[in-house]
Structure formats: structure tokens, C-alpha cells
Amino acid sequence: MKEGSVYDEGFNDDDDDDSILLEFESGSDIEYDDTGLLRRDPGLASLSDEESGKGGNNGYYLDGATISSRNVVIPKDELYENDGVPKLSYRCLTTDQIYELMLERLERIQPIFDISYEDIIVLLQQYAWSEERLLEDWTENRDNVIVSCGLKLGHEPVASRGIRKHANFLCHICCEANKMKTFTLECGHEYCLECYQHYIKDKLLEGKIITCMSCPLALKNKDIDAIMGDNSSQKLMRSSIKGFIQKHSNHYKWCPFVDCNCIIQVGNISTLSEFPRFHLSPYVVCDNQHRFCFKCGLESHSPGDCHVAELWVKMAQLESANLNWVLTNTKECPKCGVNIEKNGGCNHMTCKSCAYEFCWICEGCWAEHGGGYYECTRFKKEDKNGAVESKNAIRKYTFYYKLFSEHENSAKLDWSLGLTVEQKVKALQENIGISWIETQFLPESIRALIEGRTTLKWSFPVAFYSDPSHNLTKIFVDNQSLLVSAVEDLSQLLQVKEPQKIIDRKLEFFNKARFVRSRDKALVECGRDLLCKGICIPHQ
Amino acid sequence: MSQRLAKEYRALSKTLGRDPEYAYIISLAPVSEENLRKWESLITGPPDTPYFGHEFTLQIEASEAYPLEPPKVQFQARCMPHCNVDFDSGRICLSVLDAAHWTPAWDLLHVVHAIWLLLASPEPDSPLDVDLACLVRAGDRSAHNSLIAYYLNGGSRGHCGHVSER
Ligand SMILES: [Zn+2]
Ligand SMILES: [Zn+2]
Ligand SMILES: [Zn+2]
Ligand SMILES: [Zn+2]
Ligand SMILES: [Zn+2]
Ligand SMILES: [Zn+2]
Ligand SMILES: [Zn+2]
């Protein structure tokens, strides 16, 4: 959960006109629990406590049903800001934290299953951590679930399991005869420890149940750790949780920023459908201050709403499939929904997860595509029908797209600038003896710069879809150029390298960054106005 | 792991030529006795398929980590028209050859057998040859079979584009 935003932490002191930029922040209802590790909002906490009191299993799952049931508990007016604008309740987690939550949850549901903690982990792994589905199947046919997950039924005779010592063991995998240590499960398939270690090492990142090398019997976490001699099972759990997140992508989204491992979990996902009405988007901010749209999984795209962003991205994929644009480089598999990265010009995609083959451009099944290995013929046909009309539209699009990608590139440069700012802050502290808090105007400036740049970038799609003859569109374009100059000004100032000069010009940094913020906000407001008044109409 | 391939080689010399289940395998052996990592196999096509009466060469390469890793197996290039085989390279799409589905308990005989079974039952959902897969999907067995027969009997085949690996 975020505590407010970069806008209200002593940087921008005129709080009263923050409405447009702050409406999604849900800072006020956050609590840290006693461990300080898991941050949860009281809605989740109180519900789970209540549930554990009853000892029941209904109502609070970590997958789909978990959170939707929460909406019943919270009074409706708490889900909205004062002006009726929907408010998103979310928290920022890591895979490890989600796993911890799973284990906490597991302790509560264990009494339902009459099997060990370790065995339930195997079951949950098989069910992609979906308790609801597991419980359903469990009630229906317990034995079936146990066997299909590679566990032994209680009444079956159990041979000894674990590591064994020998003088001279012939291992049938490596066919070496001098093995001293082996591992075996109840099935009696016994192989040398070295073979098992190699076998497990390769499987840890797949996140699926690891079985005996000869039969479907499952290795439990303690087996894995015993064989590997460390806590390797944690690696397996981490990759397994990744599978869970992919399967529940309506509640969980990875932060789209490069090298960021944050996962945002939204509590009240039913609220998501309320945003489009207001031409607003459900923005979330991860613990690394990355702002992104929970609906599209894209970086912040204001002043465009999700509809603008969606159509613009689609168009970019259609018309500039060859442009190396990072935002279009991942797509969900049309069949199984797993995220797929495109890493080259070829449009023939094969999903790693379900092996479905499809065309990157039209998302159609590749096999039905016929002939066209390099170009999507479906799209080409449409193009011919559209004749001259579509040619002009493409030319106009290309113009706006160029501007868009120009700011995209600048934003990338600003990112690297941001990295050097960290060193500057250090230099200020060391060379001039300034406290950490006093140096914060620098990172704040860089954030204002990057966010301003992002707004600029996404203002071109809005301009593209707007009626050019309308007066408000002209005002919008004027606002664009005002933000451009504010951003360029600040960007130039951030090139200053000498620590003393930076300190001398502190006020200038402060003012210029603040100016960018206010121009940014003005452009966002104006863009939303265009959308609300129907002057900007996104279309295909 | 060098013992393992040597043992398979010894075991095969007993099995092949005796077990009628593997009568279709003309040979399965290392290319040279010096290097047990490179194998070749000559098989005949399964009965009741357009491959029957034809012989095919499989090229097999076992890595250092075999059998913990699956062997690399492919048909000789431009010899096998099949919806799960890339005609130009001979690459085979078969789940047991995939690291995620491979089991170290399997051996090279298993692998050759699985490929032989694939010839009789093409898998149109993971196609490497789109044309043939479309015919299988459409349920047009006779067109599918006669197209294969045409290629096998020397019918020319244009460059079929590439299928990228991802
Ligand atoms: Zn071994
Ligand atoms: Zn076993
Ligand atoms: Zn992030
Ligand atoms: Zn969005
Ligand atoms: Zn897929
Ligand atoms: Zn297409
Ligand atoms: Zn290709």
C-alpha cells in the first residue's frame, strides 16, 4: 500500500488542487502489522481474523474469491472518494510475501485436510494455489486428489523414504556402480544422490511438482532440501507463486518497469469497472515509486484514459509492428493468457506455456493463417479495402506516433539521468556535509521530470483522437507546448554536475520541478476534459 | 554419465533383432565406437501410413548431462514431411524431447519408439508444418496422406519459410 504519493510529501504544498492526480491514492487506510513485513489494509486483516475465529474456510481465499468477498464487508461509501470517483484498495507485495501469506492461510485451512502441512503444499502447488478449486475437488473425491497430486494414500503400505547409505550401489540413471548415497520414495525407485541433485536443480525454476524420476510420486519440500543439502525448495516455491500470479492476473499484476519485482494486489477489483465512466484509470504505485495502470498493465498513460491507451497500442501493433517499441513487446497468449515477449521481427509466435502458435499482429491461430510466414495477410486485406482513406489516416498516425516515440526515447534518457542523480546525492552528503533529507529535492526533481515526460508522451494519442477544429483541442495543444518547455528546462538544469553549484541552485530546482508538476496537471485535466466532452473520441 | 550410454549400447545389441515390437528399427547405434554421444538410427515407416515402405534416418545427440537432460533428435534434413517436423531442418516437435516432460528413466530406445509412434499419429496442435497440420485438422486424411506420399516419392517442395524458436 502506498502512503500518499510523490505529490504530497512536502514537495507540493498546495494540497487543495491535487484532486486529479491523487484520487486513486489509498494512503489513508493502511496499517503495518506487527512484523512490519506484511502490509495489509485493515479490510483484509479484519476479515481474516474474523474468519480464523470461526475456524471456517469460507470467504477468504488468496485467489479470486478471497477478495471479492471482501466487498460485501466494506460499506459502499468507503469504496468511493467524496466526489463519487472510485477508489482502488491495493497493496504492493513480493513473491516471497505472497508465499508467506499462503503459508499463513495454510495454517488456518489445515484442519479441513487430515494430511500434513507438507502434503497440502504439494496439493496447492498442483492447484496453482487455488484453495477454492482444491477444496471443491477434495470434498468430491479426496483419494483422487491425493493420487493425482503424486501423494500416497494413508492406508497403502509405506516403504521407507529418504536418503540411504550403501557400500556399492549401481544407479540405473548414470549406470555407475560405486555409489554410496541414494534417495528413494515409497515407490522403491532408488537412484544415486548425484543424479537426483542434477535432476532437481533443473526443475526448481519450473514451479511445478517435482516427481520421482520413474513415477508420478511427488517429492516434498523436505525431500528436496534433504537431497540438495540446502533450502532449495524455497526456489521452487518462488517459481510456483509466479504461476499463481499469472493465473490470477485480474487480482495481481507485475510492475511493468524493467527490473522491478513488485506485484500489486488489488482488493476491490469490482471497482475497476467504475473508472471508464469518469475517463479515469486505476493507477497504482509500487514500492519503488513506479506508477502504472492496473487495468492495462502499462505505465501511467494520462491524459489518455484506458480506452485511448488500448486503441493506441493496438494501432501501434498494427501499423508499426516492426518498430522496436517496448510497450508492444509483450502480449498475453490468446489461448492461455500467459505473458509472451516478442524478441525479434518475426510475427510467428509460439506460447511457451501452452504451445499455441499465433500471429502477433492479428492474434489469430497461426495454422489458419495460411502461407504468409512473414506478414499478416489478414491485415493486408483490410488495408486494400480501405483504399485512399486509410492511407491518409496512416500518414496522420505516423506523424503522432513519431512524436510519441520521440518522448519515449527522451524518457529513457531521463531514466539514466535518474541513476546518476543518486551519485550526486551521495556526493552532496559527503562533500558538502548536507543531510539526506535536504538532498531529496534532487530525486523529487527527477521524478517530476519523468512523470512530466510520460504525460507528454501520452498526450499525443489524445491529440490524435481529438477533433482538430475544436477550440478546446487548440488549448490542449498549447498546454502541450507549455509542458514541453517546462520539461526541457528542468531536464537541462539536471545536467549540472558540481555539488556546490547544485546546492546553490536548490531553489531553482525546486521551482522548476514545481512548474513541471503544475503544467503536467493542467495538461492531464485538459485531456480529461476533451474525453468527458466527447471532443476526443478514440476510434479504430 | 559415460557408463549409461555404454550400457544402453550393450542392452540394445541384445534387444534389437529379437524383440518383434522393435522390428521396424533397422539400426540404432553410435556413429562411431569412439564417441558414444553421437548416434544414428534407421527406421522404417509404420504400417497403414504413407511412410510405410520408406526408410528414415534419425540423428541423435546426447549431451554431457544425458540422461538427466533429453537427447537432441532430428530427422535428416528435407526427408520427413510431417506436421510436427520442420521439413527443412528435420527438427521434431515432440513433448518427451522437451526438458519439462523428459524423464531420466527413459532411454534412446524409448525416444526412437515415441518418434515412430508420432509418424502414425500426427499432433496438429503443435505444428511445425502448417500445411499438413491444416489438413489433419480439417480431417482430410486422404489429402494429407497423398501429399506426404507425393513428397516422399520425390515431389518438389518449395522453401517453406522458417519457424522461429521461442
Ligand atoms: Zn546416478
Ligand atoms: Zn518412483
Ligand atoms: Zn515497480
Ligand atoms: Zn489503463
Ligand atoms: Zn499460451
Ligand atoms: Zn495475422
Ligand atoms: Zn518466422
Task: Dump pLDDT digits (tens) for A207-228.
Answer: 889 999 999 999 999 999 999 9
B1, B99, B127 ranked by CB distance to A367: nearest:
B127
Contacts B103 to A, Cβ<8 Å: 213-214
Whether the CB-CB separation of A294 and A88 falls below 8 Å is answered with: yes
What distances in angstroms separate CA B46 from CA B12, B21, B23, one per listed residue? 20, 12, 11
Predicted local distance difference test score (pLDDT) of residue A45: 32
Q: How many residues does chain A have?
A: 540
pLDDT in tens, A24-51: 233 333 333 333 333 333 333 333 333 3
- Average pLDDT of chain B? 88
- CATH code for the part of the protein at A396-532: 1.20.120.1750
* Nine-digit cell string for A466: 481529438
Any residues with CB less than 8 A from the CB of A297 and at least 6 apart, and which?
A253, A254, A256
The complex scores an ipTM of 0.78
Please, where are the H alpha helices in A377-440? 377-427
Whether the CB-CB separation of A455 and A523 falls below 8 Å is answered with: yes
Whether the CB-CB separation of A339 and A330 falls below 8 Å is answered with: yes
How does B45-83 read in b/e, with b if 16+ C-beta sit within 10 Å?
bbeebbbeebebbbbbebeeebbbbbbebbbeeeebbbb
Cα distance between residue A337 and residue A353, in whole Å: 9
Whether the CB-CB separation of A447 and A300 falls below 8 Å is answered with: no
Cα B100–chain centre separation: 19
Question: Is the CB of A381 inside 8 Å of chain B's CB atoms?
Answer: no
Whether the CB-CB separation of B136 and B126 falls below 8 Å is answered with: no
Whichever domain contains B79, its CATH number is 3.10.110.10
Range of the domain at B76: 2-165
DSSP state of B34: T
Contacts A349 to B, Cβ<8 Å: 166
Q: Digits of tens for pLDDT over chain A (540 positions)?
A: 433 333 233 333 333 332 222 222 333 333 333 333 333 333 333 333 333 333 333 333 455 434 333 333 334 444 455 567 788 899 999 988 998 888 888 888 888 888 888 899 999 999 888 888 899 999 999 999 999 999 988 766 666 889 999 999 999 999 998 899 999 999 999 999 999 999 999 899 888 899 999 999 999 999 999 999 999 999 999 888 888 887 788 889 989 887 788 999 998 888 899 899 899 999 999 998 889 999 988 999 999 999 999 999 888 777 655 444 333 456 677 777 777 765 433 456 777 777 777 776 667 776 665 544 434 444 443 444 444 444 556 667 777 887 787 778 777 778 777 778 878 888 888 888 888 888 889 889 998 999 999 999 999 999 999 998 999 999 999 999 899 889 888 988 888 878 888 888 999 999 999 999 999 999 999 999 999 999 999 987
Cα distance between residue B80 and residue B91, in whole Å: 10
> A476 — alpha (psi -120 to 50), left (phi > 0) or beta?
alpha
pLDDT in tens, B26-61: 999 999 989 999 999 999 999 999 999 999 999 999
Look up cell 492406508; give the residue. Answer: A155
> A166 — alpha (psi -120 to 50), left (phi > 0) or beta?
beta
* Nine-digit cell string for A279: 475517463
Question: Is the CB of A195 inside 8 Å of chain B's CB atoms?
Answer: yes
User: Which ligand is nearest to the Cα of residue A362, counting in written order?
Assistant: 6
Is the model's pTM score more than 0.90? Answer: no
Any residues with CB less than 8 A from the CB of B86 and at least 6 apart, and which?
B93, B128, B129, B163
CB contact under 8 A, A367 and B4: no
Question: Is the CB of B46 inside 8 Å of chain A's CB atoms?
Answer: no
Predicted local distance difference test score (pLDDT) of residue B129: 82
Just list the catalytic residues of A: 346
- Chains A and B form CB pairs within 8 A to the count of 65
- φ/ψ (deg, to 5) at A489: -60, -50
Higher-confidence position of B100 and B36: B36
The angle, 0 to 180 degrees and rounded to 10, between the axes of the packed helices B130-137 and B141-152 is 150
Contacts A195 to B, Cβ<8 Å: 68, 104
The full set of domain ranges for chain A reads 5-95+246-300, 307-377, 396-532
- Distant-in-sequence contacts of A64-73, Cβ < 8 A, 24+ apart: A64/A130, A64/A132, A64/A248, A64/A250, A64/A251, A65/A132, A66/A251, A67/A251, A67/A265, A67/A266, A67/A267, A67/A268, A67/A269, A68/A269, A68/A270, A70/A43, A70/A44, A70/A267, A70/A268, A71/A268, A71/A270, A73/A43, A73/A46, A73/A47
A173, A214, A355 ranked by CB distance to B126: nearest:
A355
C-alpha dihedral over A503, A508, A510, A516, to 10 degrees?
Answer: -140
Task: Kindly report whether the peptide bond that precedes residue A303 is cis, defined as omega within 30 degrees of 0.
Answer: yes
Higher-confidence position of A44 and B5: B5
How many structural domains comprise chain B? 1
A174, A176, A352 ranked by CB distance to B166: nearest:
A352
B65, B130, B164 ranked by CB distance to A198: nearest:
B65
End-to-end CA distance of chain A: give it in Å, rounded.
Answer: 36
Q: Is the Cα torsion angle B3, B5, B9, B14 positive or negative in sign? A: positive
Query: Please, which residues have CB less than 5 A from ligand 6, an ion?
Result: A 359, 361-362, 376, 378
Q: Is the Cα torsion angle B112, B115, B120, B121 positive or negative in sign? A: positive
* Nine-digit cell string for B12: 540394445
Which of A199-203, A407-411, B77-81, B120-124 shows the lowest mean pLDDT across its residues? Answer: A407-411
Predicted local distance difference test score (pLDDT) of residue A206: 85
Q: B12, B130, B132: which to substitute to probe chain A, counting the most A Cβ within 10 Å?
A: B130
What distances in angstroms separate CA A442 from CA A246, A300, A424, A513, one per listed residue? 37, 22, 8, 9
Active-site residue identified among B79, B83, B93, B160: B93
* Nine-digit cell string for A344: 525479434
Q: Kindly report the nearest CA distance between residue B129 and chain A, in angstroms.
A: 9
